[in-house]
Amino acid sequence: MTPIILKIRPLIRIAALCLAVAISQGCTESDPVVSTGLDSTYTIARMQLLRLSTPYSSGTICWTATSPDGKQKPISTSADCLFVAADEGVWQLTLRITDGDETIQETSTINVVHEEVEYSPYLTEVYEYHPAPGQFVNKMPRWRSGDTAADMARKAADAICGQTEELISLGAYGGYVVMGFDHTVVNAAGNDFMIKGNSFYDDPESGVEAGSAEPGIVMVAIDANGNGLPDDPWYELAGSEYTSAATVHHYAIAYSRPDEGKTPVPDGQYITDSQYIGWSDSQGRSGYVMKNTEHTQSYWPGWIDEPVLSFRGTLLAPNAVDLSGTGLYFRLFAYPWGYVDNHPNSRADLCSFDIDWAVDAYGMPVYLPGIDFIKVYTALNQYCNWIGETSTEICGATDLHLSREPKH
């Protein structure tokens, strides 16, 4: 068959050929009598997915990729296989199927070529922007009357895509953004991508990693169904606190839309309404997102009409310490690694992420050859008096494999 060349974003879906029984006159015992459904050769641009499948569903299945330098790695044990490579070269992909005493094996050559139009190392897409209530909501980015969810996703993209590096806020616990690149981020050696926030250390000379750390959890997905939309299974990147006894998995929270006309309950200092937006969670707790004197706009996303906003995910333990004892001076301590807006951007190693950290809903490691979608959500349900709710902020992301490349 004629090799297929992928151009830019589209994914190949190589449907398995029908299981063939080659019975004809002149066949010998050495002739193959079945087909795995693979072509002998494929051509694909680097950092694009090649989707393959075989009609076999029984027995033991193993797909093994052999790199141009001869290194082998099993990449799938199901009837479906997703292949992607970061660099140009000639790969071999071997499918081996064992069913009882019968074994079938076929090897295809995959020619990985350079893309026709250079990829960007920076974000190119925001698929959804869905913050929880918060003091910077409707400001970062700015909502104007009549703006829809699509408008706000576009405004978020204007802020964080490319090299603009303007901040967007995800609000209180659970608020999220879904974003992506113009290519698949390949799972290669070391960290794969970096996400920037606005965290800082208040006393960097001391060596204490604390100041403003508002960690967000990262989830990733690969475009397994090939429709270009983030509707595939999500996997959490397990950071340093994933196995901590203080971390709550399968946490849920619901926020109730505020009555903007109600009589506020101020504290006489920095809080104009201490009972502004009520919330309740799966731990049997309840409380409020309070309104402060610095931010007087509505904290409820202006483009969302629902009476309740609900979020689910993993909840990290509080990281704030009130050093004043009076609610005037809070210090937010950074977690060791694995979260967005947790360390200053200058600590690139601690703002970067490895796709190999991916786990499923049960905490089991998951191998992903690459990812097409990234979701970040605020991971703390924490309020620090006049500082307000702990909310993750983002100002951009980079594919580290492309950012390290020399310019062509």
Provide DSSP, 158-214. Answer: HHHSTT----EE--STT-EEEEE-SSPEE--SS--EEEE---EES-GGGT--EEE--
Same domain, 299 and 248: yes
Write out the two tokens for 289: 């997102």
**How distant, in Å, are the alpha carbons of 129, 311, 391 from that of 282?**
24, 11, 20
pLDDT at 221: 98
- Please identify which residue in the block is written with the tokens 């590096």: 165
Q: Which pLDDT score is estimated for 33?
A: 44
Task: Kindly report the backbone phi and psi dihedral angles of residue 393, in degrees, each rounded to the nearest multiple of 5, phi listed first.
Answer: -115, 150
- Mean pLDDT, to the nearest integer, of 352-370? 97
Two tokens, residue 403: 């950012």
Specify the pLDDT at position 373: 98
How would you list the strands of the sheet with 248-256, edge to edge? Answer: 286-292, 271-281, 248-256, 308-315
Do 278 and 303 fall within a single domain?
yes
Residue 344, preceding bond cis, omega within 30 degrees?
A: no
Per-residue pLDDT band for 57 (boundaries 50, 70, 90) equals: confident
User: How many alpha carbons fall within 13 Å on the CB side of residue 19?
Assistant: 5
Predicted pLDDT of residue 300: 98
Q: What mean pLDDT comes out for the span 244-266?
A: 97
- Average pLDDT, stretch 107-135? 98
Q: What residues have CB less than 8 Å from 209, skipping those under 6 apart? A: 201, 333, 334, 343
Single-letter residue type at 233: P
Give the structural domain span for 37: 12-113
Q: Is residue 297 in some structural domain?
A: yes
pLDDT at residue 229 in the model: 98
Highest mean pLDDT among 53-57, 58-62, 142-146: 142-146
Is residue 70 domain-shared with residue 204, that is, in the same domain?
no
Structure tokens at 408: 């062509």
Give CA–CA dist 394/239, Å, rounded.
18
Q: Is 118 part of a structural domain of the chain?
A: no
Q: Domain boundary at 72, 87, 113, which?
A: 113
Q: What mean pLDDT, rounded, does the chain reach?
A: 91
pLDDT surpassing 50 at residue 248: yes
- Of 64, 90, 113, the residue that ends a domain is 113
> Do 133 and 107 have their domain in common?
no
382, 341: one domain: yes
Residue pair 235/245 in contact (Cβ under 8 Å)? The answer is no
Contact present, 384 and 390 (Cβ < 8 Å) = yes
Averaged pLDDT for residues 7-21 = 32
Residue 1 structure tokens:
């068959």
Whole-model pTM: value is: 0.90
**Domain identity same for 90 and 131:** no
Does residue 29 lie in a domain region? yes
| Residue 22 or 54, more confident | 54
Contacts of residue 137, Cβ cutoff 8 Å, sequence gap at least 6: 131, 143, 169, 171, 175, 298, 299, 300, 301
3-class secondary-structure state, position 53: strand
DSSP classification of residue 372 = S
- What mean pLDDT do residues 330-343 have? 98
Q: Do 294 and 167 share a domain, yes or no?
A: yes
Residue 204, Cβ neighbours under 10 Å: how many? Answer: 14
3-class SS of residue 290: strand
CA dist., res. 64 & res. 76, Å (int): 7
Question: Are 238 and 358 contained in the same domain?
Answer: yes
User: Based on C-alpha coordinates, what's the Rg of the chain?
Assistant: 25
Residue 6 pLDDT greater than 70, yes or no? no
Residue-level pLDDT at 26: 36
Nearest 5°: phi and psi at 339? -135, 155
Same domain, 233 and 362: yes
Tell me, yes or no, whether 278 lies in a domain. yes
Say whether both 293 and 180 belong to one domain. yes
- Which pLDDT band holds residue 2 (cuts at 50, 70, 90)? very low
Q: What pLDDT was estimated at residue 32?
A: 44
By the 10 Å C-beta count (0-12 exposed, 13-18 middle, 19+ buried), 125 is classed as: middle
With a CB cutoff of 8 Å and minimum separation 6, the contacts of 167 are 140, 159, 198, 393, 394, 395
CA nearest 227: which of 372, 79, 397, 52? 372
- pLDDT tens-digit readout, 69-119: 999 999 999 999 999 999 999 999 999 999 988 999 999 999 999 999 999
Can you tell me the distance from the alpha carbon of 183 to that of 228, in angstroms, rounded to the nearest whole number?
A: 11
Provide the domain count of the chain.
2
Q: Is residue 323 included in any domain, yes or no?
A: yes
Pairing of strands 216-221, 352-353: unpaired
Work out the end-to-end distance of the chain between its first and last CA atoms, rounded to an integer number of angstroms: 32
In a domain, 119, yes or no: no
- Residue 34 banded pLDDT, cuts 50, 70, 90: low
Asked whether residue 277 falls in the same domain as residue 301, the answer is yes
Percent of the chain having pLDDT more than 90? 85
Copy the structure tokens of residue 391.
Answer: 């909310």
Inside any domain, residue 408: no
| Cα torsion 36, 41, 42, 47: sign | positive
pLDDT of residue 408: 41
Q: Which of 92, 113, 134 is the last residue of a domain?
A: 113
State the pLDDT at residue 56.
82
Residue 321 pairs with which residues in a beta bridge? Answer: 331
Interstrand relation of 102-113 and 41-45 (parallel, antiparallel or unpaired): parallel
Once rounded to an integer, what is the mean pLDDT over residues 377-387?
96
Asked whether residue 6 is domain-assigned, the answer is no
- pLDDT tens by residue, 278-329: 999 999 999 999 999 999 999 999 999 999 999 999 999 999 999 999 888 9
The CATH number of whichever domain residue 66 belongs to comes to: 2.60.40.10
112 touches 85 (CB < 8 A): yes
